[in-house]
Amino acid sequence: TQLLEQSPQFLSIQEGENLTVYCNSSSVFSSLQWYRQEPGEGPVLLVTVVTGGEVKKLKRLTFQFGDARKDSSLHITAAQPGDTGLYLCAGGGGADGLTFGKGTHLIIQP
Protein backbone atom coordinates (compact mmCIF):
# COMPACT_ATOMS: atom_id res chain seq x y z
CA THR A 1 0.00 0.00 0.00
CA GLN A 2 1.37 3.40 -1.00
CA LEU A 3 1.03 5.94 1.79
CA LEU A 4 1.18 9.72 1.56
CA GLU A 5 1.92 11.74 4.67
CA GLN A 6 1.06 15.40 4.73
CA SER A 7 2.44 18.01 7.09
CA PRO A 8 1.55 20.03 8.94
CA GLN A 9 -1.88 18.63 9.71
CA PHE A 10 -3.17 22.04 10.77
CA LEU A 11 -1.85 25.52 9.98
CA SER A 12 -3.28 28.89 10.93
CA ILE A 13 -1.51 32.04 9.77
CA GLN A 14 -2.20 35.71 9.18
CA GLU A 15 -3.16 37.15 5.81
CA GLY A 16 -0.10 38.19 3.83
CA GLU A 17 2.24 35.54 5.23
CA ASN A 18 3.91 32.82 3.19
CA LEU A 19 3.59 29.11 3.88
CA THR A 20 4.68 25.72 2.66
CA VAL A 21 2.95 22.39 3.12
CA TYR A 22 4.46 19.02 2.37
CA CYS A 23 3.46 15.67 0.97
CA ASN A 24 5.87 12.77 1.51
CA SER A 25 5.99 9.09 0.68
CA SER A 26 8.43 6.21 0.65
CA SER A 27 6.96 5.13 -2.68
CA VAL A 28 7.56 6.46 -6.17
CA PHE A 29 4.50 7.88 -7.91
CA SER A 30 3.96 8.33 -11.62
CA SER A 31 2.22 11.59 -10.81
CA LEU A 32 1.05 13.61 -7.85
CA GLN A 33 -1.99 15.80 -7.68
CA TRP A 34 -3.00 18.57 -5.33
CA TYR A 35 -6.64 19.19 -4.51
CA ARG A 36 -8.33 21.84 -2.39
CA GLN A 37 -11.52 21.06 -0.52
CA GLU A 38 -13.84 23.63 1.03
CA PRO A 39 -16.41 22.80 3.73
CA GLY A 40 -19.44 20.97 2.38
CA GLU A 41 -17.88 20.38 -1.03
CA GLY A 42 -15.83 17.77 -2.80
CA PRO A 43 -12.10 18.16 -3.51
CA VAL A 44 -11.23 20.23 -6.57
CA LEU A 45 -8.10 19.56 -8.57
CA LEU A 46 -5.48 22.34 -8.48
CA VAL A 47 -2.56 20.80 -10.35
CA THR A 48 -0.90 17.59 -11.49
CA VAL A 49 2.87 17.16 -11.47
CA VAL A 50 4.42 14.37 -13.49
CA THR A 51 8.14 14.89 -14.00
CA GLY A 52 10.71 14.68 -11.19
CA GLY A 53 11.82 18.19 -10.22
CA GLU A 54 8.87 19.77 -11.99
CA VAL A 55 7.64 23.14 -10.74
CA LYS A 56 4.22 24.51 -11.59
CA LYS A 57 2.76 27.86 -10.66
CA LEU A 58 -0.87 28.76 -10.26
CA LYS A 59 -1.02 32.47 -9.41
CA ARG A 60 0.33 32.67 -5.83
CA LEU A 61 0.61 28.89 -5.48
CA THR A 62 3.83 27.06 -6.41
CA PHE A 63 3.89 23.29 -6.61
CA GLN A 64 7.06 21.21 -6.78
CA PHE A 65 7.54 17.50 -7.42
CA GLY A 66 10.61 15.94 -5.83
CA ASP A 67 13.42 14.72 -8.06
CA ALA A 68 12.76 11.12 -7.02
CA ARG A 69 8.99 11.54 -7.47
CA LYS A 70 8.34 10.55 -3.85
CA ASP A 71 7.38 13.92 -2.43
CA SER A 72 5.85 17.25 -3.28
CA SER A 73 5.42 20.67 -1.75
CA LEU A 74 2.93 23.49 -2.08
CA HIS A 75 4.08 27.02 -1.36
CA ILE A 76 1.61 29.89 -1.04
CA THR A 77 2.87 33.45 -1.26
CA ALA A 78 1.02 36.28 0.47
CA ALA A 79 -1.80 34.05 1.69
CA GLN A 80 -5.34 35.39 1.55
CA PRO A 81 -8.48 34.36 3.44
CA GLY A 82 -9.78 32.79 0.23
CA ASP A 83 -6.94 30.26 0.42
CA THR A 84 -8.53 28.72 3.50
CA GLY A 85 -9.40 25.06 3.02
CA LEU A 86 -8.19 21.49 3.20
CA TYR A 87 -5.27 20.79 0.87
CA LEU A 88 -4.95 17.18 -0.22
CA CYS A 89 -2.20 15.51 -2.16
CA ALA A 90 -2.92 12.34 -4.09
CA GLY A 91 -0.73 9.90 -5.96
CA GLY A 92 -1.22 7.14 -8.43
CA GLY A 93 -4.37 7.09 -10.44
CA GLY A 94 -5.21 5.49 -13.73
CA ALA A 95 -5.89 1.79 -13.39
CA ASP A 96 -4.96 1.74 -9.70
CA GLY A 97 -7.05 4.60 -8.35
CA LEU A 98 -5.72 7.46 -6.27
CA THR A 99 -4.16 7.34 -2.81
CA PHE A 100 -4.85 10.46 -0.79
CA GLY A 101 -2.97 11.96 2.11
CA LYS A 102 -5.01 13.07 5.12
CA GLY A 103 -4.53 16.69 4.14
CA THR A 104 -3.45 19.99 5.65
CA HIS A 105 -6.18 22.12 7.18
CA LEU A 106 -5.21 25.70 6.35
CA ILE A 107 -6.79 28.77 7.92
CA ILE A 108 -5.83 32.25 6.78
CA GLN A 109 -6.93 34.85 9.28
CA PRO A 110 -7.72 38.36 8.00
Q: Which residues bind another protein (CB under 8 A)?
A: 30-31, 33, 35, 40-45, 48, 88, 92-103
Phi and psi at residue 31, to the nearest 5°: -160, 160
Which CB atom, from 44 or from 55, has the smaller least distance to another protein?
A: 44
C-alpha–C-alpha distance, residues 2 and 54, integer Å: 21
Nearest distance from residue 82's CB to another protein, in Å? Answer: 19
C-alpha–C-alpha distance, residues 73 and 13, integer Å: 18
Nearest distance from residue 37's CB to another protein, in Å? Answer: 8
Which CB atom, from 40 or from 82, has the smaller least distance to another protein?
A: 40
DSSP 59-85: TTEEEEE-TTSSEEEEEESS--GGG-E
Which CB atom, from 78 or from 107, has the smaller least distance to another protein?
A: 107
Nearest distance from residue 69's CB to another protein, in Å? Answer: 13
